[in-house]
């Protein structure tokens, strides 16, 4: 249960990218999940302040730059800019701020100094370390037992440390490609302190929600909690949200296994809507396996969604006799309520999506029967738009501009004159409908075939004919 610290406001901190390489489909799964959470909170009436850091100081960045000769600043800025552009294509609402570690070295140093003052950290010849033994609640988030953490097992081995479990707040260095001045000499911050300092700098208080991918629970988030609560005598975050692992053919993504898929590659194969729907077909905490066959079925599902929405629009645009269908109203209201009930229950998107498709089936059946409850259809139409916004599904109408030459040729071929490409296309469809009515099937089939050749598909629906770009 979420109880905001400030009424009507949620402070959300999501661990951001370490942009040493192109963003991949695993990142996208996490950020789509948080995007749905954010949209859900906004629809609930909250003002969401979203902080998402940029980890532009990290060992992987240093290693990549040493391997390639790249400049760290150039590498990280290019990769992060590319990632944000791709996230935009996925309809992910941008964070309010993207604070980079390199721009917040003062805040990080001040945070470490406070920990030393509080006797929760100490300096050695290799760096500054947090003393885990000073924390009473270490391991509560991850379930780790400090006594069972072995030397060298997911901890930094350093003989200068008081305890093997102690982790670095500042790493001393000399002559490395990423170094900063500090009271303890040249060096760079440890990974965990970066998020603690940045989140505090922007939130000024306990976070309402903090999260990221599941693999950050230990040691990253565990260490964030212990050092933050050692520095400030209050709870670090009231709620934690972690997304499940994404695999490819059952294996963890790895370039060595040849199954590493960048988001850019995925979006060349799949539409943004299909990729989002694929991610949301699994609960955000559940594991998910990337499957292109499943993604193809998501394309069909997206098409059904917007075809059904278009059908409702067409019905509402036509004059209707007033008709009330109590059973239709009852069942549709139940499905709409079920959609929101599922999202209220820990964002159960698979169940919410199932109720949405159930709603579409009911609507299509109602429309095909003849008499239509247009008042209820209008209400449902507006509700569906809200639902699709919460899921981040956006109708992406392809333009006719690149079909101009083909449409112009067809206009000449069939003797049609129109002021716009869309008008010409609608006149062609009307001509085809007239040919069908006159049982001139050769002409109607020829128009369909010629339109198909230029990438425009004709769909015959009950009482109407629609077109779409292939």
pLDDT of residue 151: 43
CATH number at residue 172: 3.40.50.620
180 and 312 assigned to the same domain: no
Percent with pLDDT over 90 in the chain: 71
Q: How many CB atoms lie within 10 A of CB 431?
A: 16
For residue 217, tell me if it sits in a domain: yes
Residue 275 has pLDDT above 90, yes or no: yes
Q: Which whole number is the average pLDDT over 403-431?
A: 84
Residue 399 has pLDDT above 70, yes or no: no
20 and 167 assigned to the same domain: yes
Total-model pTM:
0.86
68 and 190 assigned to the same domain: yes
366 and 406 assigned to the same domain: no
Structural domain total, the chain: 3
91 and 141 assigned to the same domain: yes
Residue 244: pLDDT band (50, 70, 90) is very high
pLDDT of residue 150: 43
108 and 233 assigned to the same domain: yes
Residue 463 has pLDDT above 60, yes or no: yes
Q: In angstroms, rounded to a whole number, what is the distance separating the alpha carbons of residues 167 and 165?
A: 6
For residue 294, tell me if it sits in a domain: no
Structural domain that includes position 378: 305-391
Domain boundary among 353, 373, 391: 391
Strands (E), 197-323: 207-213, 237-243, 246-248, 251-252, 288-290
Q: What is the pLDDT of residues 85-130, one digit of tens each?
A: 999 999 999 999 999 999 999 999 999 999 999 999 999 999 999 9
113 and 203 assigned to the same domain: yes
Residue 154 has pLDDT above 70, yes or no: no
260 and 314 assigned to the same domain: no
188 and 236 assigned to the same domain: yes
For residue 287, tell me if it sits in a domain: no
For residue 278, tell me if it sits in a domain: no
For residue 289, tell me if it sits in a domain: no
259 and 328 assigned to the same domain: no
Q: Are β-strands 121-123 and 127-130 bridged in parallel, bridged antiparallel, or unpaired?
A: antiparallel
387 and 411 assigned to the same domain: no
For residue 298, tell me if it sits in a domain: no
Q: In angstroms, rounded to a whole number, what is the distance separating the alpha carbons of residues 422 and 326?
A: 38
196 and 342 assigned to the same domain: no
**What are the residues whose beta carbons fall under 8 Å from the beta carbon of 159, sequence distance 6 or more?**
none
């Amino acid at each position: 249960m979420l109880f905001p610290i400030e009424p009507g406001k949620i402070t959300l901190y999501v661990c951001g990218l370490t942009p040493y390489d192109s963003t991949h489909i695993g990142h996208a799964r996490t950020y789509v999940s948080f995007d749905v959470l954010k949209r859900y909170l906004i629809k609930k009436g909250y003002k969401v302040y979203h902080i998402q850091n940029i980890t532009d100081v990290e060992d992987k960045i240093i290693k990549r730059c040493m391997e390639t000769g790249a400049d760290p600043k150039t590498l990280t800025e290019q990769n992060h800019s590319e990632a944000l552009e791709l996230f935009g294509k996925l309809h992910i609402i941008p964070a309010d701020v993207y604070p980079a570690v390199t721009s917040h070295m003062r805040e990080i140093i001040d945070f470490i100094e406070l920990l030393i003052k509080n006797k929760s950290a100490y300096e050695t010849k290799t760096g500054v370390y947090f003393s885990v033994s000073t924390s009473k609640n270490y391991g509560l988030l991850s379930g780790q037992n400090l006594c069972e953490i072995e030397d060298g097992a997911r901890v930094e081995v350093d003989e200068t440390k008081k305890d093997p479990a102690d982790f670095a707040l500042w790493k001393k260095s000399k002559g490395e490609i990423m170094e900063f001045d500090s009271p303890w000499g040249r060096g760079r911050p440890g990974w965990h302190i970066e998020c603690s300092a940045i989140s505090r700098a922007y939130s000024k208080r306990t976070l309402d929600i903090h999260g990221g991918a599941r693999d950050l629970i230990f040691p990253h988030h565990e260490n964030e909690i212990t050092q933050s609560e050692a520095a400030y005598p209050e709870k670090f975050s009231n709620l934690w949200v972690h997304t499940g692992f994404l695999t490819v053919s059952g294996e963890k993504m790895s370039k060595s296994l040849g199954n590493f898929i960048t988001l850019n590659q995925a979006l060349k194969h799949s539409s943004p809507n299909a990729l989002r729907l694929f991610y949301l077909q699994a609960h955000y905490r559940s594991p998910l396996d990337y499957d292109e066959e499943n993604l193809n079925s998501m394309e069909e599902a997206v098409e059904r969604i917007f075809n059904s929405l278009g059908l409702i629009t067409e019905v509402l645009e036509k004059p209707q006799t007033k008709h009330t269908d109590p059973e239709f109203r009852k069942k549709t209201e139940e499905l709409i309520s079920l959609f929101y009930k599922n999202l209220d229950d820990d964002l159960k998107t698979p169940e919410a999506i199932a109720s949405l498709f159930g709603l579409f089936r009911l609507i299509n059946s109602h429309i095909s029967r003849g008499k239509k409850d247009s008042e209820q259809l209008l209400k449902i139409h507006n509700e569906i738009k809200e639902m699709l916004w919460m899921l981040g599904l956006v109708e992406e109408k392809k333009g006719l501009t690149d079909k101009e030459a083909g449409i112009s040729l067809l206009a000449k071929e069939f003797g049609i004159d129109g002021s716009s490409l869309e008008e010409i296309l609608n006149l062609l469809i009307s001509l085809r409908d007239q040919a069908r009515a006159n049982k001139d099937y050769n002409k109607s089939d020829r128009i369909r075939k010629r339109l198909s050749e230029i990438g425009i598909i004709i769909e015959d629906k009950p009482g109407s004919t629609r077109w779409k770009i292939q």
